[in-house]
Structure 1
Amino acid sequence: MNRVNGYARVSTEDQNLHMQQLAIEKYASEQNMELILYVEKISTSKTERTELTNALKAAATGNRFVVYKLDSLARSTKELYQLPDEMMQRGIDFVSIQDSFDTTIPTVRAMFGMLTVFAGFERDIIQQRTKDGLDAVRKRGR
């Protein structure tokens, strides 16, 4: 069944999730899709984001993974590329409401594919530079 797996997160206990929850609920309602909402109050610097893990595990082919803003999903640019890419490989669409990012739209899906290629290229360049630097240090006897 097509459904929305929503994920809302704030960094501290003092912050309020209400606006994110309302936006995700409205999105699911407008799409006539069932909503399962995962919420947590935890900093992205924490390694264990249990509800994010649960939401990703529960998402299935044909589902949409919806967040209010991209920064509630990822702690780094690398993770921001990886998570939606993994979702798309599993047949899960990704939507960020506030950022107008929606992989159900073919042009956005194509753009994301190009960004993923560039991210991979950047990663390869960094690895090559690191290898070259280590080789240079070894040649100098260190």
Structure 2
Amino acid sequence: MVVFNAPFDITLINAELRRHDLGSLEERLGAETAPVIDPLVLDHSLDRYRRGKRTLSAMTSVYGVTLQEDAHTAQVDVSMMLGVLQEMAVRYPRIAGVDDGALHQFQVEEHRKWADNFGSWLASKGRVDDISRAWPQE
């Protein structure tokens, strides 16, 4: 499964499924929701110090993908996300040949590193560190 900002989207999907008494993704699949490939997590890891927003729209220009004018519709966002992911694989060949399971585990670890770092930054500013270290999460 390829999902941009997987912790948010998978949590939202699971909440909506449960709200309609349809169980979770995991219950419906009869298995863990994995492997998940998340261009946002990969971007945080592969280009950690880049300044600027990391929204899908912002990342299209970083990776040379056309920002389509009807962005934020499901089909267009999926197309742009897959384009970003493809360009990441070109720019960072070390992820291109990694199997899905290993890439999923890499993202679990990298998301945790990012969350720890961001949580520390929040705490240093006197704000609550409420960043989940789980990825993807229910």
Structure number with larger C-alpha Rg: 1
Looking at secondary structure, tell me which structure has more helix per residue: 2
Q: TM-score, normalised by structure 1?
A: 0.30
Which of the pair has the greater relative contact order for Cα pairs under 8 Å at 6+ separation? 2
